[in-house]
Amino acid sequence: MRVFDSIALIKWLHFILLSMAGGGAVVALLLSGFEDDHEDLRGLAATVWKRTVSWGFRLALLAGIGALILHYRAGNNLLLERYMHIKLTLVLILLACSEMAPKGLAVGKRGAAMLALLLFMLASFVMYNQTIFGQKPRPMPVPMAQSAPDGTMHADR
């Protein structure tokens, strides 16, 4: 009996880190909208992004790489799946935007932060709906009819 499932644990950790980063991105963008009117909030969005969102995405990337390695060692190579190539491309662009976002938020520009949030949502969509990317449904086998010695037809089971 196996008590500890390392793949499930690292996938859970990956999910928690992504939830932290995604939620932090929304909060940071909301705060950046209030910084224009409230002097006491100036710079808070960049700080939240740098400490919460950037680290959440960085650690989620490491957890995701760990999950890929554990899957590979278990005999399931996820890199052969088409959706994984789409997701990894989005993730690399997401990380680049996430690293640029704090400097932009510090001077009142939200472009990189909004693009990072959009790419986060797109990567989540790709992962959740992985079956829509190039996989064709397998046809169901049709039972063959055979004639019995008495002349009646019977379907194979």
- Host domain of residue 121: 6-128
Question: 157 lies in a domain?
Answer: no
User: Does residue 151 belong to any structural domain of this protein?
Assistant: no
48: CB partners within 8 A, 6+ apart: 24, 27, 28, 31
pTM of the model: 0.75
Torsion angle in degrees (nearest 10) through CA of 38, 94, 15, 12: -140
48-52, 65-69, 103-107, 138-142: least confidently modelled range: 138-142
Is residue 133 in a domain?
no
Segment 52-85, tens digit of pLDDT: 999 999 999 999 999 999 988 888 888 777 788 8
SS3 helix, strand, coil % of the chain, rounded to 5?
70, 5, 25
* Any domain includes 134: no
Q: Can you name the residues that pair with 154 across neighbouring β-strands?
A: 146
In-domain check, residue 33: yes
The CATH number of the domain holding residue 109 is 1.20.120
Q: How many domains is the chain partitioned into structurally?
A: 1
So what's the pLDDT on residue 146?
Answer: 64
Residue of 133 and 132 predicted with greater confidence: 132
